[in-house]
Amino acid sequence: MAATIERTGEHLRRIFSEFSESELIERLSANQCDLPQRFPAGSKVNGETLDKRWSRLPTGVRAALEEEDPAAYAANIENFIGTIRLPVGIAGPLRVNGIFAKGDFSIPLATTEAALVASYHRGACVLSAAGGCSAAVLNEGVNRSPAFGFGSLAEAGKFVAWVVDQVDVFRDIVRENTDHGKLVDVAATLEGNHVYLNFEFRTGDAAGQNMVTICTEAICAFIREGSPVEIKKHYVEGNLSGDKKASAQAFTTVRGKKVCAEAVLSPELVQKFLGTTPEKMTDYWQMSALGGVLSGTIGVQGHFANGLTALYLACGQDPACVAESAIGVTRFEVIDDGSLYASVTLPGIMVGTVGGGTGLPTQAACLEILGLRGSGKSPALAEVCAGLLLAGELSIIGALAAGHFTRAHQRLARQRKSSQS
């Protein structure tokens, strides 16, 4: 929503009361005097390079960031200076009755937000008391969408006709570049004399972002050599894939793993654990769903990003992928016997149990707590994510429906902090 002219004017008047026009021009102008030295960059992690980097930083905080085994992080960072520490709490155990995740899971969550773990823990407890949630991975795939420019629409069309006949060749190229990935589909979108190809891959137990990029670059090399028409320009990613951003496209395709979780809670359990009723929770959900529509959100849900970010940080996932993973739909209904039916559907959970940050010391330990470290475990991790987010939706909507939301945050965040200071 655009700012009103009154608010804009008030802001500008405040700025001009503090700075003269010449001062503002000086502050906002490029300044190439006394440019700082470049930070000692690189991927080396050893005592000499660390000393060199810390010579440029406030040394009083070095001890707080130092790591006993810096070499363990060498493959995951550049310009390394140390590690940060986040508090980790456990939610659960959460019982998940999934296709791949079957059992009771103690879920590590890393966060600085008081009340977050307590909320997800409460939701996990009510789900487990109900016998657990059902969860299923419905689809999976990771895509990369290179873009190509041509001289005309006719040339773009001829290019697409040629691409259709090359899909088996593309699959062979992928097999030559990875032992774990597989090309499963190719789609084409024409926009004038531009063509976007959308390559969809299976990536095994890795999240697979780097894998699909390397394979797509190899396919593009073949395309550049063999295209029947001149390619004026091309890019390995044309921003059609939805990589690390929320998009409506997520609901019609898949990026990562599409997962659904559901549960039925009796009125007695809702009252015991959440302090409210299925009817009140459904009433709140209906009003909040319309609020989401009015605000233009992609999907309808309460706070998927909260639990997902905390789990991603704890378990070595790429936290930037929360931008695309934390969209989806929460749905509540009162069913015939008066119980609450609750479900979440997430079209693009990006998770892996090998590669990336999953091998870092503390992140590997958190995956061990879950029992989901290593090959063959990524579908189960996705189902646990869905169960966790269902727990979080039940807890937050229960708190809002019961009028406890503000009180809980005051008790667990503000008042506790002030009593300890």
What are the pLDDT tens digits along the chain (421 aa)? Answer: 455 777 777 877 888 888 888 888 887 776 778 767 777 878 788 888 888 888 877 778 787 677 778 888 888 888 998 888 899 999 989 999 999 999 999 999 999 998 899 999 999 999 999 999 999 998 888 888 999 999 999 999 999 999 999 999 999 999 999 888 889 888 898 999 999 999 988 887 777 788 889 999 999 999 999 999 999 999 989 888 777 777 777 777 778 898 999 999 999 999 999 999 999 999 999 999 999 889 888 889 999 999 999 999 999 999 999 988 999 999 999 999 999 999 999 999 999 999 889 998 889 999 999 999 999 999 999 999 999 999 999 999 999 998 876 665 556 655 555 555 5
The contacts of residue 270 (CB under 8 Å, 6+ apart) are 126, 276, 277, 278, 281, 340, 398
State the Cα–Cα distance between residues 365 and 362, nearest whole angstrom: 5
Burial class (CB in 10 A: 0-12, 13-18, 19+), 217: middle
Where a domain ends, among 235, 269, 299?
235
Q: Can you give the residue range of the structural domain that contains 68?
A: 39-85
Asked whether residue 276 is assigned to any structural domain, the reply reads yes
Q: Is the CB of residue 118 less than 8 Å from the CB of residue 92? A: no
Q: How many domains does the chain have?
A: 3
Residue 251 belongs to some domain of the structure: no
295 and 358 co-located in one domain: yes
Residues in a beta bridge with 332 = 342
Residue 196 CA to residue 284 CA, distance in Å, equals 42
State the DSSP string of 364-384. HHHHHHHT--STT-HHHHHHH
Residues 382 and 283 in one domain: yes
81 and 97 share one domain: no
The CA-atom distances, in angstroms, between 340 and each of 97, 127, 331 are 18, 12, 10
Residues 131 and 177 in one domain: no
What amino acid positions are annotated as catalytic residues?
113, 318, 409
Whether residue 325 lies inside any domain: the answer is: yes
Same domain, 201 and 340: no
Residue 376 belongs to some domain of the structure: yes
Place of tokens 């708190």: 399
Question: Residue 414 carries which DSSP code?
Answer: I
Within this chain, do residues 299 and 412 fall inside the same structural domain, yes or no?
Answer: yes
Alpha-carbon torsion 301, 245, 107, 261, what sign?
positive
Domain assignment present for residue 21? The answer is no
Give the CATH number, domain containing residue 152.
3.30.70.420
- Verdict on whether the full-model pTM lies above 0.75: yes
Q: Do residues 384 and 290 share a domain?
A: yes
Q: Do residue 61 and residue 111 come from a single domain?
A: no
Q: Residue 396 has which token pair?
A: 């937050």
Same domain, 181 and 287: no
Task: Single out the residue in 85, 104, 122 at which a domain terminates.
Answer: 85
| Residue 154 and residue 129 share a domain | no
Tell me if 245 is assigned to some domain: no
Residue 125 resides in a domain: yes
Q: Is residue 11 part of a domain?
A: no
CATH number at residue 363: 3.90.770.10
User: Residues 96, 187: one domain?
Assistant: no
For residues 413 and 278, membership in a common domain is answered with yes
